[in-house]
């Protein structure tokens, strides 16, 4: 009987440590790391590059339907990482610009885009066991997984983390926008373990995540 890949879903608010801890957990387990936010950023970058008005849902949905993409798994810093290629290219630096960041929210709110992303993100299991981080993994992309986590921290702490990275972002507004989105809003998945890491280091948070994951593994 073929073993179905394990998917560890790590959702949470902005600057709650999702990326850092998802990478630490993936590396510790030898799983493949998937940053779903990077996929939305890639579409936002593609729309900007093609002069698609990101405020026009129909135009964005059409761009998403027509772009030529492929999933690949690469080795990076001792970690296997899934990348979404556009015409064979991964815009690693381009998706981290302020312009792309400003466009992401508009692109991510389009229902057809989220539908496309869900299918594409589910296709990532072709690469094996996953640690997937985002905002709707446990609620929408892989609601059937037994490994659901939701990371959070106080607004003050998360804002301080962003500032330390040199990023000035209104996290309260983003939280509200993400949680009130009509399709796949940010929310705590049923059965998810909630971890508030306001006073915790990344090492402490990832250790707690791994302990919970090991406890949920089926007995052999």
* Helix, strand, or coil (residue 185): coil
For residue 144, CA distances in Å to 6, 140, 212 come to: 11, 9, 17
Q: In terms of domains, do 198 and 136 share one?
A: yes
Residue 160 lies in a domain: yes
- Which residues are 158's β-sheet partners? none
Please compute the mean of the pLDDT values over residues 55-82 and round it to a whole number. 97
Residue 85 lies in a domain: yes
Q: In terms of domains, do 63 and 88 share one?
A: yes
Q: In terms of domains, do 145 and 186 share one?
A: yes
What pLDDT score does 64 carry? Answer: 97
pTM exceeding 0.85: yes
* Helix, strand, or coil (residue 22): helix
* Helix, strand, or coil (residue 45): helix
Place of tokens 């090492």: 203
What is the extent of the structural domain holding 46? Answer: 34-127
Q: In terms of domains, do 120 and 135 share one?
A: no
Q: In terms of domains, do 77 and 102 share one?
A: yes
Residue 145 lies in a domain: yes
Q: In terms of domains, do 150 and 101 share one?
A: no
Residue 112 lies in a domain: yes
Window from 7-11, 13-17, 116-120 with minimum mean pLDDT:
13-17
What pLDDT score does 1 carry? Answer: 45
Q: In terms of domains, do 56 and 138 share one?
A: no
Residue 39 to residue 192: CA distance in whole angstroms: 23
- Which residues are 85's β-sheet partners? 70
How high is the mean pLDDT of the chain? 92
Window from 11-15, 73-77, 114-118, 136-140 with minimum mean pLDDT:
11-15
Residue 187 lies in a domain: yes
Q: In terms of domains, do 135 and 220 share one?
A: yes
What DSSP assignment string belongs to 96-123? GSHHHHHHHHHHHT-HHHHHHHHHHHHG
CATH number of 63's domain: 3.40.50.300
Residue 150 to residue 52: CA distance in whole angstroms: 33
Q: In terms of domains, do 84 and 25 share one?
A: no
Total domains in the fold of the chain? 2
What pLDDT score does 116 carry? Answer: 98
Residue 1 lies in a domain: no
Please compute the mean of the pLDDT values over residues 66-90 and round it to a whole number. 97
Residue 18 to residue 62: CA distance in whole angstroms: 30
Place of tokens 């997937």: 132
pLDDT digits (tens, 9 = 90+) for 154-205: 988 988 888 887 777 777 777 777 776 666 677 899 999 999 999 999 999 9
Task: Give the side-chain half-sphere CA count within 13 A for 63.
Answer: 24
Greater confidence (171 vs 60) lies with: 60
Nearest residue to 20 via CA among 185, 158, 170:
158
Q: In terms of domains, do 133 and 217 share one?
A: yes
Q: Are 161 and 172 in contact (CB under 8 A)?
A: no
Q: In terms of domains, do 138 and 105 share one?
A: no
The backbone region for 188, taken as left when phi is positive above 0, alpha when psi lies in -120 to 50, beta otherwise, is beta
């Amino acid at each position: 009987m073929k073993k179905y890949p394990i998917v560890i879903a790590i959702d949470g608010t902005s600057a709650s440590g999702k990326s850092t801890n998802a990478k630490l957990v993936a590396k510790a387990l030898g799983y493949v790391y998937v940053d779903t936010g990077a996929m939305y950023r890639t579409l936002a970058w593609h729309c900007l590059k093609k002069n698609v008005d990101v405020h026009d849902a129909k135009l964005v949905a059409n761009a998403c339907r027509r772009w030529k993409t492929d999933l690949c798994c690469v080795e990076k810093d001792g970690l296997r990482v899934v990348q979404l290629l556009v015409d064979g290219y991964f815009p690693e630096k381009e998706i981290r610009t302020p312009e792309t960041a400003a466009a992401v929210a508009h692109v991510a709110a389009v229902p057809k885009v989220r539908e496309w992303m869900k299918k594409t993100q589910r296709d990532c299991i072709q690469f094996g066991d996953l640690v997937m981080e985002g905002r709707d993994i446990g609620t929408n992309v892989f609601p059937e997984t037994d490994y659901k986590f939701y990371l959070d921290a106080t607004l003050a702490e998360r804002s301080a983390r962003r500032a330390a990275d040199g990023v000035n972002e209104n996290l309260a507004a983003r939280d509200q926008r993400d949680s009130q989105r009509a399709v796949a809003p940010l929310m705590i998945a049923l059965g998810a373990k909630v971890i508030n890491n306001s006073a915790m280091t990344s090492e402490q948070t990832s250790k707690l995540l791994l302990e919970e994951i090991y406890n949920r593994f089926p007995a052999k």
